Amino acid sequence: MAKKCKNCGGKLPFLSSKTLCKACRKQFDLELSDIKNAVLESKKFDKSWVDVLVKHEKDELLTLYGKLYDGFMDDEILDEKEIDALRDFQKGFNFTDEEVKFNERVRFHIYRNYLLKETLCLQ
């Protein structure tokens, strides 16, 4: 039985391990890129994007989370808006802290931001 694209139902090559045809893969990649750029620019993850992204594979979404984290870390600091955007993304797909490596990636920045706030309040 021929394998079919999970998005459009088109035929996939016989031995393909892919779940999407080339056209759908291109469209999905553009969606991921557009949403990644919008999140990095606005520092917000709009919950309506969950409906758009839910059709993507879990590993693709985890990769997108990593790209968002890396993009936010260009300046080596995660501010509160960036942390909130990452948390909203994580919650939108019910990812665990382990899946997104929250403790290794984000927790330090939460503590750092808290300590900076406390220090500024004491001055």
Domain ranges of the chain: 22-122
* pLDDT score recorded for residue 19: 80
For the chain, which residues score pLDDT lower than 70?
1, 122-123
* pLDDT score recorded for residue 123: 63
* pLDDT score recorded for residue 122: 66
Q: What burial letters (b/e) apply to 76-113, b meaning 16+ CB within 10 Å? A: eebeeebbebbebbbebbebeeeebebeebbeebeeee
Which region holds residue 2: left if phi is over 0, alpha if psi is between -120 and 50, else beta? beta
What are the residues whose beta carbons fall under 8 Å from the beta carbon of 46, sequence distance 6 or more? 38
